[in-house]
Structure 1
Amino acid sequence: MRANRRLCFAVAVFVPMSLLCIHMWNKSDKVVAIWNREAPEDILDSSLLQPLEKYAGIGLKWKDEVLELLPKNNCRCEAETTLNLPFRQELIGKPFALNFTAAVEPLGIGETHKRREVEYKNFKMRMYNPADRIIITQANSPLQYPAQGVEVRPLKTILIPGLCLLDLKKKNRYEVSLSCTMGTFDVAAEVDSVTIKGTGGKQITLSSILLDNMNRQLQLISYTNTMFHPNTADTVRFQSNGHTASFTIKVRHPPVPKLYDMGPSKSKYNISALVTIATKTFLRYDKLQDLIDSIRKYYPTVTIIIADDSEKPQKVEGPFIEQYIMPFGKGWFAGRNLAISQVSTKYVLWVDDDFIFCPQTKIEKLVDVLERTSLDMVGGAVREITGYYTTYRQIISVIPGDKEGDCLRTNQGYHHVIEGFPNCVVADGVVNFFLARTDKVLKVGFDPRLSRVAHLEFFIDGLGTLHVGSCDDVVVDHASKIHLPWSKTKNDKEYFKFRYPKSVAEINSQHALYYFKNRFKCMTGN
C-alpha cells in the first residue's frame, strides 16, 4: 500500500512537471508585430508619361492609338455606343449600364461609402505582398530595369517603368532590344532621332546616336498582353551590346474585393453582423442543445448554422438557427464544408457540438485580433472538465524529400508571440475552436473524404495559405467525456461506433490520402 502511495505521488508530481517542461521547451521568446502593412499606391499612374528634367527638351510625337490602351483609373458607367445593326439585340444583347449607388442611397450612401472604404483599405493591406512593389535595378551593367512589381491585366497594356541605358563607354551609336513571349511591344510616342523597329511584335529594337533621346524613348515603351491567362507571367529579355537582363511582367486579374458591410453600430464590433457560429452534429442532440443554450446566454442574436448527418435527424428550432440535413453518415469534413458554405458574414466561429460557452468565451477578443492583424484565423482554448486547457498549437513543416515523396513534420509549439496581444501567438495549427475569415476558410476547404477522424489535415492543406494564430485567454468549455457503461444511451453507443473507427482499412484510407494527395512518404512529430 505504501509503495502504491509513493507511485501515485511520483506520478502526480512527475506528469505536471513534464508537461511544464514540454511547454517551456516549445515556447518562443520572440515577440513579433504582425500589423497590417500599408499597401502601395497604384504604379500605373500618369507620372510615367512625364519626362525627367534632363529630357524635357527632347521632341516627340505621341501615338494616340497606344495612349488609348493605357489604364487611366477613370472608368465611366456609361453604355457603350455601338452600331445599330439589324437583330443586334437578339444576337448579342442590348448595351446597358447599371448604377449601383442608387440601391444604396435609401440606406445613406455617405455612411455606407465610409464603411466600404474602411473595409477596402483593410482588404488591400491584407492582400499586399512586398514582392508586388516596384523595384528598379540600378545599372551595374549598362542596363537599368524593373526587378519586380510590373503587372498588367490580361490582354491590357501598360508602360514598362524604369528602363534606362547608361553610357559606361562612349559609343557612336546606342542600340537596345526587348523581347517577350506572351505579348507585344509598342511606344506611346516616337522620340526624335530614335529609330524603332518591330512595333506591334514580340521583339522591339531601338537605336540612336543620342543617349538622352534613347532613354526618353525607353520611358515610353508599352507592353500589351496578347495571350489570355488569369494569373501568369511573361519574361522580358532586355539586351544591349552583349549585355542581357531579364525581368518578369505579372499577367493577372487583380483580386476582386470581397467586403462585408457590418452596418452602423454603436459598439466597436457588432458581433451579430460580423460573426456566424457553425457546427456539425451527429446524433448528439442533447449536447447540441446545451451548446445552443450557452451561446444564447451571451450572444442571443448571432446566427448558428448546423450541419446534421444523423440517420433520423431531429428538427432544431429557434431564432437565428439554420439546420442543414445531409445524407446519413456523410462525415465530419463534408459537414464542415456545408456549414461554412452557408455563412454570409465576414467571420465564422467554428465550435464542436459538445462545447459550452462560458464567461471567458469572448468572441470580441478574437475579432479584435483579426481586425488588427494580418491573421486569417485565430484559435482559442478548450477547457476540459478536469480543468486542463488545450490549444493544440502546432508547428507544421514539409521537409523536401526524394522521388518517394516529402516528409511531413508536426511539433507542439508556436512560432512567436504577437506584439500587443501577450496571450496570442502565431502557429500553423490550432484547436477545434477558432474564428476565421470566411473567404479564406472556403478557399482551403475541407476534404470530404475525411469522414470521421480529421483535423490536422485541414491545416496541412492550408499551409502557405492560412496565417494562423492562437489566444489562450478566450476559452470554451468542453462537455464531459466521461461515460459510465451503464449510463450510455443507444445514441451514445451509435455515436461512438461512428466517431472512433478502429478498422485498418479506414486508417489506411487516411494514410493513402497523405501519400497521394499531399505526396508525403512519412510523418514525424510529437
Structure 2
Amino acid sequence: MRSLRKKVLMVMVTVGVVAALIRSWTPKPYGAVDVRSKPDTKIEKLLEERLHLSQHTYNDVPYRLKESVAGLLARNGCVCEGESGGINLPYSHLLFPRVSAQDLHTAFKDSELEEVKRRRAQEYQGFQKRSQTAADVLIVAAANSPLQYPTQGVEVRPLKTILIPGLALRQKTRELYLVNLTATLGTFDIAAMVDNVSVRGDGETHMTLSSRLLASLNRQLQFVTYTNTLFHPNTVDTVQFETDGHQSVFTVKVRHGVTPKLYNPGPRGEYNVSALVTVATKTFLRYDKLQDLIDSIRQFYPTITIVIADDNEHPKPVNGPNIEHYIMPFGKGWFAGRNLAVSQVTTKYVLWVDDDFIFTANTKLEKLVDVLESTTLDLVGGAVREVTGYTASYRHTMSLEQGGDEGDCLHIRRGFHHAIKGFPNCVIADGVINFFLARTDKVQQVGFDPRLARVAHLEFFIDGLGTLHVGSCDDVVVSHASKIKLPWGQSESDKAYAKFRYPGPAQTKNSLLFFKNRFQCLTHN
C-alpha cells in the first residue's frame, strides 16, 4: 500500500512538472599620474553651469506629460515588488508561476548588514573611479554658438599626435577674431602655418590663435594638432575651445587600438565544426553519463575536441582521441570547472554541454555556427529535449532598473526580445539554456564566478549583461538523460551527487548579487 502511494505521488509530481514546463520558455616628465580619470574641477563646474542654465530657460512654458513615454524614463529608484494572490492549489506555483521578489540584504545577519553596506559603497565608489571618464560627463553644445568643434569620435593613441578635425569659427564681421584651446593631458601645435594668423602657446597645453581675417583663421584651425603627453592606456582629455563670450568643450579619447583576437577557420567551404568548435563540460560523480555523452558526440563529430573538467574525489581516467581531461581539487565546484574547461579552449567557438546530455541527429552544431558566423551575436543557445518528450529552450530577458543608495534592481522574466531576421527559429534574449555555442573570447571575458559552486547558471548571463549579445534557436536540440529515479533505485553515487548538487538555501548566491553586483533586489517568474 505504501509503495502504491509513493508511485501515485511520483506520478502527480511528474504531471505537475510537465505541465509547468509546457507553459515556460610622452612626454613631459611626470612624477605621478592621477589614474582617477576625473574631469578638471573648472571644466566640471563649467559643464554644470551650462547644464543648469539649459534646464531653466523655459520654465514659464506650460507642458503636458505623455504618460506612455514619460513612464519609460529612468527614475532614481526602483521598486521591488512581487505578485500576490492567485490560485491556491497544490502545484499551482508550477502551473501558474507568479513574479516573486527577493530582498537580497536578507542574505546577511542584521548585525553585519550595515558594515556590509559600508564596504559595498566604498567598493562601488572605487569602481566608478575606475570605470568612468570625462567622456561620461554630459556636454551640451549651445545652439547658434559661433564655435564649430567635434562633439564625438576624436581619438589619439597614447603619446601620439593627431589633427583635430572640424575646428572653425563662424562669427559676424569684427576687427579681430580670436580663439583659445586648453587641454589637460596633452599639448597643441600646428602642422602648417597660415599668413596673417598669430599663434601663441604652440607646444603647450594652452594655445591662442588670432587674425583679422576670418578665412585665414579658419584655414589655420584646420592644421591644429593635439599631442597626448601623459601616458594612460585608456582615458579621455577634455578640451576647452573658447572665443569672446562663448565657451565649448569636447573630448579626445586617449587609448590604444583594440588588439583583435582572430581564429583561422581553415579552407573556405562548408563549416569544419571540428576546427571551429570545442565541446566543454564539467563532470562530477557521473562517469557513466559522461561516457554516454562522449559516445554520442563521437557518433556525429568523430574528431571534435572535448575538454572535461573533473572535481571528483577519486577521479577515473577518461581516455580517447581528442579528449582533454583536467583534474581539479575535490568538490571545487560548478563554475570553477567551467572556468577551467573554457580556459583550455583554443578554437573560435566553445560549445557548453552538461555531462548528462546526449547528442542526436537533431544536434546540428553547423546551424549554431552559421548563426554566429552570420550575425553579431556572441552566444546562441539551443534546446534540450527531456525524457518526457518536452523540448525546453529556457529563454529569459533581463532588465536592470537603476536604484538609489540601496542598490539596483534586477528583473528577470521568461521570454525573449524579438526574432532574428533570416533565422526563423531563432530569437534574441539575455539568458538561455545550459546548452549553448559561444565565441570563446567573449565567454572568457565574462568568466564564471568560482564562488558559485553547485547551483548556478543565469548568474553567468547576469555578469555578462551589457557585454554578451545572446540568441536562442530551438531547432538545434540535445537530449537530456533521465533524472527521474525512485528513492529505492538510487545508487550511492546518485545520493552523493544529490547531496552536492542540491545543498540548500542559496545564501551565497544572494550575497554575491547583493555585494558584487550591487543589487538590492531580484524579481523573476
TM-score (norm 1): 0.73
Cα 1:154–1:406 shift into 2, 3 Å: same
CA distance in 2, matches of 1:16, 1:297: 30
Counterpart of 1:301, as a letter, is T
Over the aligned positions, Cα root-mean-square deviation in angstroms equals 2.1
Aligned partner (choices 404, 411, 417) of residue 413 of structure 2: 411
Give the equivalent residue in structure 2 for 1:208.
Answer: 211
Q: Number of aligned pairs?
A: 400
Aligned partner (choices 239, 247, 250) of residue 247 of structure 1: 250
CA distance in 2, matches of 1:319, 1:286: 18
Give the equivalent residue in structure 2 for 1:522.
Answer: 521
Q: Provide, for residues 459-484 of structure 1, a one-character-per-residue CA deviation record: whole Å limited to 9, x for no partner.
A: 01000100000000000000001112
CA distance in 2, matches of 1:139, 1:160: 21
Cα 1:300–1:268 shift into 2, 3 Å: same
Q: After superposition, where does 1:422-433 map in structure 2 within 5 Å? A: 422-433=424-435
Counterpart of 1:470, as a letter, is S
TM superposition shift of 1:262: 2.1
Give the equivalent residue in structure 2 for 1:175.
Answer: 178
CA distance in 1, matches of 2:14, 2:440: 43
Cα 1:20–1:295 shift into 2, 3 Å: closer
TM superposition shift of 1:486: 2.6
Is residue 197–residue 206 contact of structure 1 (8 Å, CA) maintained in 2?
Answer: yes
TM superposition shift of 1:11: 12
Give the equivalent residue in structure 2 for 1:144.
Answer: 148
Q: Provide, for residues 9-64 of structure 1, a one-character-per-residue CA deviation record: whole Å limited to 9, x for no partner.
A: x99999989877766xxxxxxxxxxxxxxxxxxxxxxxxxxxxxxxxxxxxxxxxx
TM superposition shift of 1:243: 1.2
Is residue 139–residue 166 contact of structure 1 (8 Å, CA) maintained in 2?
Answer: no
- Secondary structure in 2 matching 1:429: coil
Give the equivalent residue in structure 2 for 1:469.
Answer: 471
CA distance in 2, matches of 1:258, 1:12: 47
CA distance in 1, matches of 2:396, 2:203: 54
Cα 1:152–1:427 shift into 2, 3 Å: same
Give the equivalent residue in structure 2 for 1:125.
Answer: none
Unaligned runs of 5+ in 2: 1-11, 26-134, 136-140
Cα 1:415–1:163 shift into 2, 3 Å: same
Give the equivalent residue in structure 2 for 1:511.
Answer: 510
2:258 paired with 1:259: no
Give the equivalent residue in structure 2 for 1:29.
Answer: none
TM-score (norm 2): 0.73
Aligned partner (choices 206, 221, 234) of residue 231 of structure 1: 234
Q: After superposition, where does 1:36-75 map in structure 2 within 5 Å? A: none
- Secondary structure in 1 matching 2:403: strand
Is residue 349–residue 438 contact of structure 2 (8 Å, CA) maintained in 1?
Answer: yes
CA distance in 1, matches of 2:17, 2:279: 36
After the TM superposition, list the runs of 4 or more consecutive aligned residues in structure 1 that deviate by more than 6 angstroms.
Answer: 10-23
Give the equivalent residue in structure 1 for 2:376.
Answer: 374
- Secondary structure in 2 matching 1:365: helix
Is residue 18–residue 388 contact of structure 2 (8 Å, CA) maintained in 1?
Answer: no
Cα 1:11–1:284 shift into 2, 3 Å: closer
Q: After superposition, where does 1:57-456 map in structure 2 within 5 Å? A: 140-167=144-171, 169-265=172-268, 267-456=269-458
Percent identical among aligned pairs is 68
Counterpart of 1:509, as a letter, is T
CA distance in 2, matches of 1:438, 1:20: 32
Give the equivalent residue in structure 2 for 1:82.
Answer: none
Cα 1:401–1:500 shift into 2, 3 Å: same
Is residue 21–residue 390 contact of structure 2 (8 Å, CA) maintained in 1?
Answer: no
Q: Provide, for residues 391-432 of structure 1, a one-character-per-residue CA deviation record: whole Å limited to 9, x for no partner.
A: 111111111112111111100011110000111011000001
- Secondary structure in 1 matching 2:144: coil
Judge which range, 14-23 or 225-234, deviates more: 14-23
Is residue 21–residue 392 contact of structure 2 (8 Å, CA) maintained in 1?
Answer: no
Cα 1:142–1:235 shift into 2, 3 Å: same
CA distance in 1, matches of 2:24, 2:303: 41
TM superposition shift of 1:390: 1.2
CA distance in 1, matches of 2:345, 2:18: 41
